[in-house]
Every structure is written in C-alpha cells, then in structure tokens.
Amino acid sequence: MKKMVIALIGIVIGGFTVGFTVGKLRSPDYNNQENILRFIYSHITPGQVDGGAIVCILTCGARTYTYHSALDTIIIEYGSPFMTNKQPVRRKYASLNLNLLYSIAGGGPTAIIGGTKFIDYLSPLTKNQKVMIGLIAVATTLSGVYWGYRLGYSNDIDCSSDQVQNILHDKKMWQTYVQYRVKNPAIGVTLGRTQ
C-alpha cells in the first residue's frame, strides 16, 4: 500500500507539472501590443449619451478610464479601496518565470519515481486489480493536470506597466475604437444608453 501511495503522489505531481507548464505556456503575453489592444478592446463597455456622443468605460487594475467622444477627453478615476484590495499583489520575480522553471525541474523526476514505484506495485496483482488501480492512476493524473493548468494559466494584465499605460492614455486608440463601434454597432456589445 505504501508503494501505491508514493506512486500516486508522484503521478499526481507529474500530471500537475504538465498541466502547470501547459497553462503557463498558453497564458497570453501582455508584453505584446496586439495582445494588450485585444484585451482592452474586449473589456471596454461602450454607451451612448444624449446628443449621440459615445462614452467608453474601461476598468483596468484599480483605475477606471472613461473616454467621451464629444469632448475627446479621457477621465481617469481611482477605484474604491475595495477594488484596489481585490487586485493581485505584484512580485518582483514574476518576470523571471521561476514557477515554470521549478515545475519543469521538480515534476519530471518526481513523475519518473512515481511511475517506477507504480509499476513495481502492479506486478503481483491480478488483472482486475491492475485495471482498477490503473483507472485510479488515470483519474489522479488527470486531476493533477487539471489543477496544474488552472494554477498555471493566467489572463491577468499588468495595468500599471508602461506599455499598457501608454496605450490607455492614447486618444487615438479610443478614437479608433469609437469609429469602429459607430461603423459596426451590431458587432460585439450593442451600444446602450447612459445618463
């Protein structure tokens, strides 16, 4: 029984490593201008005020950006303390991607050891026992992969980065969005009326 527990722990860690690595690799790279614009455009809430002017609102990080097309202005408001406290704390090592390196370095040997122990455990068992334990191993591996992916994948954008701030303060970006929305009001979110 001890061999099986050690084997299953190794297999779960191996599955977790695979899931975490795939999640990290599939996370969007927000150091890329196109990805930043894609994020911004998909998170803007457009509206229409009396007189036909379009107002676009975007909450990014602890700030809310409001663009008014008739005034051609961007109003920046700080969010409430509640919204600010909901934001993740940024760490200095985040850009080094140490978590990905640790998972690759540690998960591989652990999975190999777990797999070896698992094979040793299976040898004296009957066919039905092997099938049942094999199904348990597959289920635990898949749960490790699932949770590894969930923890590895991140769609968070650093709203305080210089590149994101430059785009958010660029009136041309907002004007381009408004022109697109006026020409294509049926695509995406329909313009609502605001007071």
Task: State how far the alpha carbon of 124 is from the alpha carbons of 6, 29, 116, 128, in Å.
Answer: 17, 49, 14, 12
**Could you report the per-residue pLDDT of 142-191, keeping only the tens digit for each?**
888 898 888 888 888 888 889 999 999 999 999 999 888 776 765 544 44
pLDDT tens per residue across span 11-23: 788 888 888 888 8
pTM for the full predicted model: 0.62
SS3 call for 30: coil
Strands (E), 30-94: 45-48, 54-60, 63-68, 73-78
Give Cα 33 to chain centroid, integer Å.
17
Coil, helix or strand at residue 105: helix
Least confident range of 1-15, 28-42, 139-153 = 1-15
| Dihedral of alpha carbons 8, 14, 15, 16, sign | positive
